[in-house]
Amino acid sequence: MAVSTIKPLVRALAQLDDPVFARVAVRGVLLAAALFVALAVGCSWGLAALAGRHGWLAWLAGALGGAGSLLLAAWLFVPVAIGMATLFTDQVAAAVERRFYPGLPRAAGAPLAEQAWDGVVLGLQVLALNLLGLALALGSAGLGLALGWLVAGWAIGRGLFVAVAMRRMSRQAARLLYARHRLAVIVPGTVLALAAAVPLLNLLVPVLGTAAMAHLVVEVLNPRAAG
């Protein structure tokens, strides 16, 4: 069965006027911002404490810690954004189904603990790969950026597809479904990864990605409903 890789993105964009999308986007941005602020404050305080409580050395250490944490936050935006998106998967996917697939049965899939565990595992995997990309970027910026883009595309595609699929099946079944349709999932994921590099547009990537994967899951499970 041929699976569309662009139609899910187009349909996701067409629903940007949905109030649910706006609420989820705002909540995700606020949570991510709070996390990054805590990271910046923690790094600044920790380095300043190591350098001593007083004097220019402490001030410099604090400033360097804050600047370094901001750079790290920019590099880790995608894994953090995906983590935030998984908290609101059900809200976005349910909004997509109400508008486009009202005839679908009620979602009843993997337990919440199982869904949360998959998000934790994915987050750790993406974090490790991003840190590897950061290390490579120190030696070759092009290689580091290329790896970062590939990791982001995989994370957005695989992470959000499996998260949406687990609304209707077990984690193991969702991972097998992803394996069967890997290419159809990764293509929109890499497109969204490019969008994640655009200021302001990147704030919508988690919501758009979740919506696109909700369309894709319906298409591979119920082609007739997808039209």
Residue 130 pLDDT > 80, yes or no?
Answer: no
- Domain span at 55: 7-226
Residue 29 pLDDT > 70, yes or no?
Answer: yes
Q: Is residue 203 included in any domain, yes or no?
A: yes
User: pLDDT above 70 covers what percent of the chain?
Assistant: 70
Helix, strand, coil fractions of the chain, as percent rounded to 5:
80, 0, 20
Q: Is residue 222 included in any domain, yes or no?
A: yes
Residue 103 pLDDT > 80, yes or no?
Answer: yes
Neighbours of 189 (CB within 10 A): 24
Q: Is residue 2 included in any domain, yes or no?
A: no
Q: What is the pTM of this model?
A: 0.78
Q: Is residue 1 included in any domain, yes or no?
A: no
How many domains in the chain? 1
**For residue range 57-90, what is the model confidence (pLDDT) as tens digits?**
555 555 555 555 556 656 666 666 666 767 788 8
CB 89 within 8 Å of CB 160: yes
CB 12 within 8 Å of CB 208: yes
